[in-house]
Structure formats: C-alpha cells, structure tokens
Amino acid sequence: MGDIRWRVWRQDDNGNRFVVARFTSRAEAEKLAAEMESRGHKQLYWVAAAE
C-alpha cells in the first residue's frame, strides 16, 4: 500500500474537527467527501493533504 497523502476532515456543529478517513489517492478522498456532503447533514467535509 502507498503512502497516506490525503485526509478527509469533518467539522461538526460545535466547530470540532476530526479526520474521518485517510487515502493514498486524492480522487478517492474527494469521492468520500462528496458522498458525505450529499447526505445533507450540517457537518462540513473537506479534503486536505496529509502533513
């Protein structure tokens, strides 16, 4: 398996931020973030490069 290069983050209604998944592919990370956003919850999801 390759290096983890991308993370999907979630921010809840209280401003707390959490990593929800890690990926080697940005495309896979973006796909999950879009799927989570489409569920209509108030949380915010985004993809960021791993540090």
Distance CA 51, CA 48 (A): 9
Terminal Cα-to-Cα distance of the chain (whole angstroms): 18
Distance CA 5, CA 28 (A): 11
Q: pTM of the full predicted structure?
A: 0.85
Which pLDDT band holds residue 1 (cuts at 50, 70, 90)? low
Identify the burial level of 39 via C-beta atoms within 10 angstroms of its C-beta, where 0-12 means exposed, 13-18 middle and 19 or more buried: exposed
15 phi, psi to nearest 5 deg: 85, 5
Q: So what's the pLDDT on residue 39?
A: 86
7 phi, psi to nearest 5 deg: -125, 145
Q: What is the mean pLDDT of residues 20-29?
A: 97
pLDDT of residue 15 exceeding 90, the answer is yes
